[in-house]
Amino acid sequence: MASYIVRRLALAIVVMIGVSILTFLLTRTIPSDPAARWVGPHARPEQVASARIKLGLDKPLYVQYYRYIRDFLHGDWGHSIRTHQPVLRELFSYLPASLELILFGMVIAFALGIPLGIISAVKNGNTIDHLSRVFSIAGVALPTFWLAMILQLVFFKELKLFPLAGRLDMMTSVISPIECVTGFYLIDSLVTCNFAAFGSALYHIVLPGITLAAFPLGLSARMTRATMLEILGEDYIRTARACGLREVKILAVYALRNAIGPVLTVGALTFAYSLVETFLIESVFAWPGLGYYASNAIMTVDYPAIMGVTLLVAFTYVLLNLIVDITLAFLDPRIRISYT
Amino acid sequence: MIDRLSNAFRYIKRSPLTVTGSSIVFLLILVSLLAPWIAPYPKDTGTSHIEEAFHSPRLKHPFGTDELGRDIFSRVIFGSRISLKVGVLAIGLALLIGMPLGVIAGYSGGAIDEVIMRVTDTFLSFPSLLLAMAISAILGPNLRNAMIAIAISWWPWYTRLLRSEAISVRERDFVTAAKAVGAPWGRILFKHVLPNSIVPIIVQASMDFGGVILTCAALSFLGLGAQPPTPEWGLMTSTGRTFFLTHWWIVTFPGIAIFISVFAFNLVGDGLREILDPKMRRARR
């Protein structure tokens, strides 16, 4: 087990170094001169030249990379060209809003997706299965940005049930502002007993949350179905059936436990996917999160900010994969044995 | 081979969803080929007539007109050409990068394999949309760069898949025989190993069509793909954003077009997977 974890950790570190090199190279192949961007549009040539020296762009590429990594590890992720603020601090101020939205969406998705997938697998081939398959494939095929707008049309304009955009309504944020504890409005408002703000926050998160859930819901349902089908075709399930065990027991005890691995993997992957999906959703719902920050950075070719977001998401992705692999090794002895 | 094909065809016929998916895909290809003839206003891909702006759907304009008075129905029809083109070119480019690397990694093993696979892992550790976004933001936003960006974020999947196929093929007798008669390395690789491990890649590539169309639409929506006045579906929903609360049809129809095409390609992909994976068939009681 220990050797497996060490091997897996080493691999993750290699990949993270690769990710940092790739991101670094991407920002150095930028068509416009970063130094010129830094000083702004009406700068004199000598100002650009001094900015180039200040940013270390006059040094060879490997020196630039070394400095970049050194600063990166010291928590200095550069300064945003647009706001001239440290990128890392900005990222952390935008992150909680995105995380709250993602967690909210994932809870909806998995609470519905896993049961849907199980029903679909058990009723393989009949109408319920076809319906749930259509539903889950549709969830994966929906363009999120479009779904977001359609939900706004239906629930804001026509039914007047939910607000159009934002995280909190103006009145609440003035009359009973939320004290920042974790940055998660739903949690912060609850722990400070600010129920008016809790209501408003909940009211605002529903539409973006549903939009975000569509993709993981479809994916988790499809994945649960595929895995359950595979397992239900295994010999030990046939044996269990032949021994006359009750179907519920077969499903809950024998099949579902073995299906948990792939579902867990999909959970971690969809989390990372959702992190990117929020780029689209947050721009439609004006949700002040990481995606909102990223779209602004992209529009203004603010490359330190683009790089920061890219690295943050990619590292999260690598870390999640690492956690999943190690958890799976704990759950499934076959994985760790194959590595020893 | 013929036996396998007819078997596959039987399964397709038995699954109504796969039949539906393939029919829509077929229709989509037909529409894109015949676009200049079926679109009522083929010139509306470029020209605008402000006096016709914001007409709601009616007989003359089945999907209404947009803020520049262009017929949305015609633009949606022409949009199918762009989506299919992006799908073919982006996946083609991804295959062109991914397949040689995969076959080399799988066949050679050792250090070469290790290096190629670590590079692949690096690319795979980015969510593909994020990588595509970063690349097209940096290359400069236009449709060609979006295609390149999609291909760069997509090739590692093919490398990984082809590598695992190549590993099993390299142990087969005909490869040993080719080695024994002294065939050069490149010949074994591209004449013997590659053709014999290509089927799963082709299947995977056809399944990825939906994902690529969706990614392209998302990039255009963020302003990183096609630029106005291109009748690209994602771009059409993006430019319609300003007006959609008062003129719902501007974003609704291009969005439906994206959804239906991605949905159809995914249905076909889902069906293909079921056909090719006997384990799943066995579970059908």
| Residues on chain A touching B258 (C-beta within 8 angstroms) | 143, 146
Q: What is the mean pLDDT of residues A18-27?
A: 84
B17 domain-assigned: no
> Of the ranges A286-290, B130-134, B271-275, which one carries the lowest mean pLDDT score?
B271-275
Whether B281 shows a pLDDT value over 70: the answer reads: no
* DSSP-based three-state secondary structure for A162: coil
Cβ neighbours for A212, distance < 8 A, ≥ 6 positions apart: A101, A102, A104, A105, A106, A109, A144, A274, A277, A278, A281
Q: Which residue in the set B218, B223, B279 is minimally distant from A143, CB to CB?
A: B218
Distance CA B63, CA B76 (A): 9
Distance CA B280, CA B283 (A): 5
In this complex, do B245 and A317 lie within 8 Å of one another by their Cβ atoms? no
Distance CA B124, CA B144 (A): 22
Distance CA B143, CA B140 (A): 10
Domains in chain A with CATH codes: 1-82+303-340 (no CATH), 94-299 (1.10.3720.10)
What is the ipTM score, two decimals? 0.87
Terminal CA-CA length for chain A: 8
Distance CA A24, CA A55 (A): 14
Q: Which residue in the set A14, A137, A306 is minimally distant from B270, CB to CB?
A: A137
CA distance B180 to chain A (A): 33
Are B162 and B106 in contact by the 8 Å Cβ rule? The answer is: yes
User: Tell me, what's the pLDDT at B264?
Assistant: 93
Terminal CA-CA length for chain B: 26
Distance CA A220, CA B84 (A): 28
> Of the ranges A22-36, A56-70, A71-85, which one carries the lowest mean pLDDT score?
A22-36
Whether B3 shows a pLDDT value over 70: the answer reads: no
| Selection from A34, A108, A103 nearest residue A64 by Cα | A34
User: Tell me, what's the pLDDT at A247?
Assistant: 82
pLDDT category, A337, cuts 50, 70, 90?
A: low
Q: Which residue in the set A134, A145, A232 is minimally distant from B283, CB to CB?
A: A232
Which residues of chain B from 53 to 72 reach within 8 Å of chain A, CB to CB? none
Cβ neighbours for A137, distance < 8 A, ≥ 6 positions apart: A218, A222, B263, B266, B267, B270
B15 domain-assigned: no
The residues pairing with A86 across neighbouring beta strands, listed in sequence order, are A79
B10 domain-assigned: no
| Total structural domains within chain B | 1
Q: What is the mean pLDDT of residues A35-49?
A: 78
Residue A290 CA, chain-centre distance (Å), reads 10
In this complex, do A279 and B259 lie within 8 Å of one another by their Cβ atoms? no
In this complex, do B119 and A18 lie within 8 Å of one another by their Cβ atoms? yes
B1 domain-assigned: no
pLDDT category, B272, cuts 50, 70, 90?
A: confident
The 10s digit of each residue's pLDDT in A211-237 is 999 888 878 887 888 888 888 888 888
Q: Which residue in the set B135, B252, B284 is minimally distant from A26, CB to CB?
A: B135
In this complex, do B17 and A138 lie within 8 Å of one another by their Cβ atoms? no
B253 domain-assigned: yes
pLDDT category, B285, cuts 50, 70, 90?
A: very low
Residue B280 belongs to domain spanning: 64-284
In this complex, do B17 and A134 lie within 8 Å of one another by their Cβ atoms? yes
Whether A157 contacts chain B with CB within 8 A? yes
In this complex, do B134 and A23 lie within 8 Å of one another by their Cβ atoms? yes
Helix axes A144-151, B199-221, angle to 10 degrees: 40
The 10s digit of each residue's pLDDT in B165-181 is 888 888 888 888 988 89
User: Tell me, what's the pLDDT at A166?
Assistant: 86
Are A279 and B133 in contact by the 8 Å Cβ rule? The answer is: yes
Are B119 and A18 in contact by the 8 Å Cβ rule? The answer is: yes
Distance CA B217, CA B255 (A): 9
In this complex, do A318 and B237 lie within 8 Å of one another by their Cβ atoms? no
Residue A165 CA, chain-centre distance (Å), reads 20
Distance CA A218, CA A273 (A): 13
Are A135 and A218 in contact by the 8 Å Cβ rule? The answer is: yes
How distant, in Å, are the alpha carbons of B99, B100, B178 from that of B189?
Answer: 11, 9, 10
pLDDT category, A338, cuts 50, 70, 90?
A: low
User: Tell me, what's the pLDDT at B283?
Assistant: 43
Query: What does the H/E/C string look like for chain B?
Result: CHHHHHHHHHHHHHCHHHHHHHHHHHHHHHHHHHHHHHCCCHHHHCCCCHHHCCCCCCCCCCCCECCCCCEHHHHHHHHHHHHHHHHHHHHHHHHHHHHHHHHHHHHHCHHHHHHHHHHHHHHHCCCHHHHHHHHHHHHCCCHHHHHHHHHHHHHHHHHHHHHHHHHHHCCCHHHHHHHHCCCCHHHHHHHHHHHHCCHHHHHHHHHHHHHHHHHHHHHHHCCCCCCCCCCCHHHHHHHHHHHCCCCCHHHHHHHHHHHHHHHHHHHHHHHHHHHHCHHHHHCCC
The 10s digit of each residue's pLDDT in B205-244 is 877 899 999 999 999 998 888 998 899 999 999 999 888 8
CATH code for position B121: 1.10.3720.10
pTM of the model: 0.85
